[in-house]
Amino acid sequence: MSGGLLSVSDALARVLGSVAGPLPSEMVPLAGARGRTLAAALVARRSQPPVAVSAMDGYAVRAADLADNGTLRLIGTSAAGRGFAGRVGSRETVRIFTGAPLPEGADTVLMQENARAEQGTVTPLQCEPLGRHVRQAGLDFREGEVGLEAGRRLGAAELALAAAMNHASVPATRRPRVAILATGDELVSPGTTPEPGQIVASNSFALAAIAEAAGATILDLGIAGDTREALAAAIARARNEKADVLVTLGGASVGDHDLVQGALLAEGLELGFWKVAMRPGKPLMHGRLGPMLVLGLPGNPVSSIVCGVLFVRPLIRALCGDPAAGAPNEEPARLAVALAANADRQDYIRATLQPNGTDLPLACPAAIQDSSMLKVLAGTQCLIVRPPFAASSAAGDLCHVIRHDRFMGS
């Protein structure tokens, strides 16, 4: 705690602790399951491969027949999907292709490069050990084996494995419905002409990208002006649309024009915490409004995005049933420049990453760290994480970074 502020780790623990459990599951066709999270373990419905198959183009043989490099009689062909129906006997062989079933009686595959074929005979040019170039039945997985655990997110490799295990659809947690509300009289939509003193709303697009990349569906509530009536109407819409999470952007402080917290409290918000010992992102709010979880993010764009990475994304992953929802998202790097000692809040410094030969990459902080500057954020690749009261650091010292591309939907 710093001056009564909650630490980042404690704040995240409270956010994740507010999740009662994964959302309900539904069966999802495999073709539409990319990015979904398994609600139950997926068990193989078949073995892969179902029988022993060849790993090479060549000749199916008995290893014992290769010892003297004697000539073998060619008795047939085995191709993928069209196996040889007979049996390979002593000093016999079958032409075989990659993925084709190994004929009965054969136990080894002689590569075609290591054989000489001549009018119905094959002469081995080298000896092969028993089982060489053979993929045994069940090498990849066996029927009844758990191939994918509950909580696994489905990417390209997972979808391929699910299909190979003969699943046309999979049980997945329902996508969390995340309502995003931008607030402030100063905001206008992109593409319009702002009046003097107005700015174009940008935070909602970043938060939608972060939330969608984490597995959510988005309900865009647009922009609410700085009135209790406008905020109440937006909150009511989020509740009527059965949003699982309401993310508000801006107005989370307690100034004369920061009305979000008051509007939520008037609607029955159970406030979990407000203010975190972090820079940027201090005025973060968390609570619950009936079954709907609430995260109130700061209005400064970089503050909002950093809070999205640190809190919104893990919350969505927890609702999806991901057991690693709160896992550390940092990785090591080295400082390109010296840094002064840190103050009492955990700092997230925008930085570029530069190759450093075979060593860890070099993290070079941007010259300006103002939390309103999106161009600086877009021109960097990571956030350097500095704990509260961190001592001064020299160039080359170890540091820890969060890469943008892993968490920001890019």
Over residues 343-361, the pLDDT tens digits come to 999 999 999 999 999 999 9
Give the C-alpha separation, 366 to 363, whole Å: 10
Copy the structure tokens of residue 57: 């183009």
For 106-123, letters b (16+ CB in 10 Å) and e give bbbbbbbeebeeeeeebe
Residue 316: phi and psi, rounded to 5, are: -65, -45
Copy the structure tokens of residue 24: 């309900």
Copy the structure tokens of residue 279: 């820079």
Residues of the chain with CATH 2.170.190.11: 53-135
Torsion sign (Cα): 298, 301, 302, 306: positive
Residues of the chain with CATH 3.90.105.10: 26-48+140-173
Copy the structure tokens of residue 403: 């890469």
Average pLDDT, the chain: 95
Supply angle C-alpha 147, 152, 155, rounded to 5: 90
Low-confidence ranges of the chain (pLDDT < 70): 1-3, 252-258, 408-410
CA 331 to chain CA centroid, Å, is: 15
Residue-level pLDDT at 256: 52
Total count of residues recorded for the chain: 410
3-state SS, the chain, equals: CECCEECHHHHHHHHHHCCCCCCCEEEEEHHHCCCCEECCCEECCCCECCCCEECCCEEEECHHHHCCCCCEEEEEEEECCECCCCECCCCEEEEECCCCECCECCCEEEEHHHEEEECCEEEECCCCCCCCCEECCCCCECCCCEEECCCCECCHHHHHHHHHCCCCEEEEECCCEEEEEEECCCEECCCCCCCCCCEECCHHHHHHHHHHHHCCEEEEEEEECCCHHHHHHHHHHHHHCCCCEEEEECCCCCCCCCCHHHHHHHCCCEEEEECECEECCCCCEEEEECCEEEEEECCCHHHHHHHHHHHHHHHHHHHCCCCCCCCCCCEEEEECCCECCCCCCEEEEEEEEECECECCCEEEECCCCCCCCHHHHHCCCEEEEECCCCCCECCCCEEEEEEHHHHCCC
The reply to whether CATH 2.170.190.11 applies to domain 53-135 is yes
Give the C-alpha separation, 236 to 29, whole Å: 33
CATH superfamily of 331-407: MoeA, C-terminal, domain IV (2.40.340.10)
Give the C-alpha separation, 158 to 169, whole Å: 13
Only one residue has tokens 């994740």, namely 16
> Are 305 and 377 contacting, i.e. CB atoms less than 8 angstroms apart?
yes
Copy the structure tokens of residue 52: 């022993």
Count of CA atoms in the C-beta half-sphere (13 A) of 397: 13
Residues of the chain with CATH 3.40.980.10: 8-23+175-319
Over residues 57-113, the pLDDT tens digits come to 999 999 999 988 889 999 999 999 999 999 999 999 999 999 999 999 999 999 999
- For residue 395, the tally of other CB atoms under 10 A from its CB is 12
pTM above 0.85, yes or no: yes
Pairing outcome for strands 362-365 and 331-335? parallel
CATH superfamily of 8-23+175-319: MoaB/Mog-like domain (3.40.980.10)
Which CATH code, of 2.40.50.100, 3.90.105.10, 3.40.50.300, 3.40.50.150, is assigned to 26-48+140-173? Answer: 3.90.105.10
Residues of the chain with CATH 2.40.340.10: 331-407
Only one residue has tokens 């009686």, namely 105
Residue-level pLDDT at 67: 87
Residue-level pLDDT at 68: 87
Residue-level pLDDT at 410: 46
